[in-house]
Amino acid sequence: MDTMVPYEKLHQLQEKIGISPQDLDTLDPLRDMFVARKHDFADYFYDVFYSIPEARIVLNNEREPGLLKRAWAAWYESFFSAKLDRGFLAYLWKIGIRHVEVNLDHRFTNLGFSIIRQFCHNLILAEVDPAGSGRILSIFDKLLDLCLLVETNAFIENTTRCDLQVIQEVADRVRNPALVIGGNIKRLQNQVEKGSREYKVYEMLMLENQRLESMVRDINGYMNIFGQDPQFQALELVDTIMAALKRLQDTKAFLHIKVDIDLDPCVPRVMGDSNEIEYLFYCLIQNGMDAADPLNPYVKISSGREYAAPHHVQIEIFNTGVAPAPEEIERLFSPFFSTKTAGTGLGLPVARLIARKHYGTLYMEPVPGKGTRVIATLPMPD
């Protein structure tokens, strides 16, 4: 378990909160006073939760009466006894993981920290000289904020990991049957006369199976992007867009579509992970090509400075075609919703995920009488 604790990330949280060695030295003379009240704290904590009907059910059904009180007293003692070393950070991280294992509603965790803060604030105001109580309150709040952040990070990351594992397992379980079904459909199709009714039925089944295979592939892509941290670097916008465009043109499915590129030379670069940003543009350009008017298939890619956020570049992908209804736009960014017959509904959700991971935005606007534009904003290098 210790090897799973992201110590570097937790130390960064500690630095951002601004806890210094001097803060800990200031707290040292008061540690024994705080620890001596651990059972008072446990009783206070218990009484507050016992007043909540949902929590009372758990407290009334403890397998070992008093176990939770002892656990809360131990946490309180550790909080005021331990130094902010790797051991204490690991202890906090494991508590967050334990909350995932017991399926604890995280709202109770947040309430718990609020109760801790209330109890200790009252104790500090009652026991500490008024001249120094403000300083002690500030140090205590920073320490408690660190504990909350560490446990919340552990809870979120491990909850997300569980969800990803379930989705990944479903995709893996679907992939092999889909391949077998596709192979058998093709074999049966080859045994009937081309153009016959049976041949067309097999053709329809083959298209549906290919859609299923595409969905499995896109789910795996979504999971990979969701679970990875982007490696930021300065990227030439034109090179990244051209790489995405080449991938699409290599499929030969969109060779009939006219594409114009008009990039602002004053903002030539963006910050981001090269693979993820290229995939972002791949998804957006593909979406524009799919939605383009068949009688006037046209896509335009343009860029400029985002004036509402001066350190961001705005990239617009416009396509001709019927614009979606306003109430339909947000649904297009929901996984598995698609207006295209063979669409998996994952292209735009993946693109928005990438934009958000890069501290950008992604949204869609209809252009009345002309088509639709999708606008992405991405940070510029310093």
pLDDT band at 23 (very low <50, low <70, confident <90, very high): confident
Question: Which strand (E) or helix (H) includes residue 73?
Answer: helix 67-81
Structure tokens at 227: 């679970």
Tell me which of 127, 162, 197 is where a domain ends: 162
Domain boundary, last residue among 141, 162, 183: 162
Give the contacts of 27 (CB within 8 A, at least 6 positions apart). 80, 136, 139, 140, 143
Q: What is the dihedral of CA 330, 336, 337, 343, to 10 degrees?
A: 120
Average pLDDT of the residues in 230-234: 90
Of the residues 162, 178, 213, which one is the last residue of a structural domain? 162
Query: Does residue 268 share a domain with residue 140?
Result: no
What's the domain range around 43? 2-162
Does 169 fall in a domain?
A: no
User: Which pLDDT value is given to residue 3?
Assistant: 45
Q: What is the pTM of this model?
A: 0.54
Contact of 268 with 238, CB cutoff 8 Å: yes
The mean pLDDT of 145-166, rounded to a whole number, is: 70
| Co-location of 142 and 45 in the same domain | yes
Assess if residue 221 is contained within a domain.
no
Say what percent of the chain tops pLDDT 90.
34
Give long-range contacts, CB 8 A cutoff, 24+ apart: 76-81. Answer: 76/34, 76/35, 76/38, 76/41, 76/42, 76/116, 77/35, 77/38, 79/143, 79/147, 80/27, 80/31, 80/34, 80/35, 81/31, 81/35
Q: Yes or no: say if 55 and 68 are a contact pair by the CB < 8 Å rule.
A: no
Q: What is the largest CA-CA distance in the chain?
A: 95
The sign of the torsion formed by the CA atoms of 50, 52, 53, 54 equals negative
Same domain, 367 and 259: yes
Query: For residue 111, is it within any domain?
Result: yes
The shares of helix, strand and coil residues in the chain, as percent rounded to the nearest 5, are 65, 15, 25
248 with 353, same domain? yes
Q: What is the pLDDT of residues 85-135, one digit of tens each?
A: 888 788 778 887 777 666 667 678 888 889 999 999 999 999 999 988 999
* CATH number for 316: 3.30.565.10
User: 135 with 257, same domain?
Assistant: no
197 located within any domain: no
Sign, CA dihedral 43-49-51-55, equals: negative
Q: What is the mean pLDDT of residues 274-293?
A: 91
Lowest mean pLDDT among 5-19, 149-163, 166-180, 218-232: 149-163
Total of domains in the chain? 2
- Residue 116: give its domain's CATH number: 1.10.490.10
